Amino acid sequence: MGIRVLVIGGGGREHAIVWKLRQSEIVDSVICSPGNAGIEGIADCFPVPVSDLEGLVELARSERIDLVVVGPEDPLAAGIADLLTDAGIPVAGPSAAAARIEASKSFAKEIMIAAAVPTARSITVTKRDAGIDAIREFGGDGPVVIKVDGLAAGKGVVVAANAAEAIGALDAFLVDRTMGLAGSSVVIEEFLEGPEVSVLALTDGTTIYPLTPSCDYKRALDEDKGPNTGGMGAYTPTRLVDDAMLQRIQTTILQPVIDEMARRDTPMRGVLYAGLIMTTDGPQVLEFNARFGDPETQVVLPTLESDLGILLEAVAKGSLAHVPAPVASGAAVGVILASGGYPSSYGKGMPIAGLDAAADEDMILFHAGTAKNNDGVVVTNGGRVLTVVGLGETIAAARERAYTAANGITFDGLQRREDIALREA
Ligand code: AMP
Ligand code: GLY
């Protein structure tokens, strides 16, 4: 008898997690809440929203769930893992105390300083005057980075070109509270330069296993122009991180952070996502997340050869050292099909054509913002609608397949980037 797994969330990331868990030899069944029109095709979906923590615990109990996997950060920061643990239900996801590594940028900095992990120099301020001093100290008249301390769904970071812009951002966050309470303290940080890489690592609080590094594309338009989004595409692996570099990241960043969190009695159990910038002085940490990245997970899991069910059960039970480290092969490129107007306002309910044609063994279609209308037609239901993932031996082959498949899918207003993975193809 295998285990029953509940995946919490309803985006492309959760579709990829459900898809991969269904291939696990220890998993009997996977359910999801709330899911989406794509997840519905491969798992029973329940309508409990990710904000209803008690409802989710009740769902896990009534469905006799053996393992819960939490997708998004909000329920983690609100303590879903603590509630599940109290209810005796194993969970691959950190306690609220450990999720602070994502939910509080100043806490993340504190951990990194204590663990001597390379990261931009920074000062956390709650007063405008101190902020202006810090902007002068780190930026002079050049670039400097302003971040709200709390969770802001990717909207809490301004890379300012000069002091005037930086002070504008400081005032917006700290004085005008444009990000609400998340901006009641603000981190002022030195500007770093280099390409960015995401490393998602599985950890049980003691052992940490990195998955293959990946790169995501945050800007809406080609050549990294336009506004920041939740992600317009991703690819894996990347030439930016070879085996020796990954080993260096493991010993100078991942393991020290895990050790420091354990030392503080807030062990990190789940996914530690390191957002890195590869500077001429080596890899430095831009941010940590306490969960799988989106869209990175949608390319990393399809190239993972190991059994995700076995790995995540070991994460939840603290026995990761007893299962083999993950192995991966090949390349994957994910192109996001978004609604016209995203990330600002966009319409919903546009019928999607070409979903059936897009099935072939070298590609996978993950749903993000989709729903079924009253006639059973799959329609757009969010900013990011679908991710078309192409697979191949090389990035070039995977990229070709992703775009060929993407060309077959249409809906009113569809927007996508044409340059995903181009720099490594
Ligand atoms: P974060 O949410 O902290 O990862 O920041 C979002 C984005 O802002 C990153 O992906 C970078 O592109 C940029 N960024 C953040 N911190 C810095 C920094 N210290 N120097 C340069 N760019 C940064
Ligand atoms: N790919 C960015 C994130 O998941 O936060």
pLDDT tens, residue by residue, 217-247: 999 999 999 998 999 999 999 999 999 999 9
pLDDT at residue number 152? 82
Read off the pLDDT of each residue in 200-208 and give the average, rounded to a whole number.
98
What CATH number should be reported for the domain whose range is 331-424?
3.90.600.10
pLDDT at residue number 154? 72
108 lines ligand 1 (CB under 6 A): no
Phi first, then psi: give them for residue 244, nearest 5 degrees: -65, -40
**Closest Cα to atom 3, ligand 2: which residue?**
293
Task: Give alpha helix (H) positions in 115-233.
Answer: 128-139, 163-170
Tell me the two tokens of residue 103: 């939910």
Phi first, then psi: give them for residue 73, nearest 5 degrees: -80, -30
Mutate to test the pocket of ligand 1, among 123, 144, 145 (most ligand atoms within 8 A of CB): 145
Q: Which ligand is nearest to the CA of 154?
A: 1
Mean pLDDT score across all residues of the chain? 95
- Tell me the chain's radius of gyration from C-alpha atoms: 21
Measured from the CA of 292, which atom of ligand 2 is nearest? 4
Per-residue pLDDT of 366-387, as tens digits, reads: 999 999 999 999 999 999 999 9
45 lines ligand 1 (CB under 6 A): no
Q: Measure CA 300 to chain center.
A: 11
pTM for the model stands at 0.95
pLDDT at residue number 149? 87
Read off the pLDDT of each residue in 206-216 and give the average, rounded to a whole number.
98
Distance 204 CA to ligand 1 centre (A): 27
pLDDT at residue number 140? 86
**Closest Cα to atom 1, ligand 1: which residue?**
287
Q: CA angle at residue 275 from 270 to 278, to 5 degrees?
A: 140
Phi first, then psi: give them for residue 28, nearest 5 degrees: -85, -50
* CATH architecture entry for 193-322: 2-Layer Sandwich (3.30)
SS3 139: helix
pLDDT at residue number 155? 80
Q: Which ligand is nearest to the CA of 152?
A: 1
Per-residue pLDDT of 34-82, as tens digits, reads: 999 999 999 999 999 999 999 999 999 999 999 999 999 999 999 999 9
What CATH number should be reported for the domain whose range is 123-190?
3.30.1490.20
Confidence of residue 358 (pLDDT cuts 50, 70, 90): low
Q: Which ligand is nearest to the CA of 121?
A: 1
Per-residue pLDDT of 269-289, as tens digits, reads: 999 999 999 999 999 999 999
**Closest Cα to atom 4, ligand 2: which residue?**
293
159 lines ligand 1 (CB under 6 A): yes
Confidence of residue 181 (pLDDT cuts 50, 70, 90): confident
SS3 65: coil
CA distance 135 to 137: 5
CA distance 58 to 152: 28
Hey, where are the domains in the chain?
Answer: 3-93, 123-190, 193-322, 331-424
Distance 229 CA to ligand 2 centre (A): 10
What CATH number should be reported for the domain whose range is 3-93?
3.40.50.20
307 lines ligand 1 (CB under 6 A): no
E-state strands within 281-369: 282-289, 331-338, 363-367
Distance 157 CA to ligand 1 centre (A): 7
Measured from the CA of 189, which atom of ligand 1 is nearest? 19
102 lines ligand 1 (CB under 6 A): no
Per-residue pLDDT of 119-164, as tens digits, reads: 999 999 999 888 989 899 988 888 999 998 888 877 888 899 999 9
In Å, what is the CA distance from 123 to each residue of 126, 145, 147, 148? 10, 11, 11, 12
Mutate to test the pocket of ligand 1, among 135, 149, 159 (most ligand atoms within 8 A of CB): 159
User: What residues line ligand 2, using a CB cutoff of 6 Å?
Assistant: 216, 231, 289, 293-294, 296
Phi first, then psi: give them for residue 401, nearest 5 degrees: -65, -40
pLDDT at residue number 359? 65
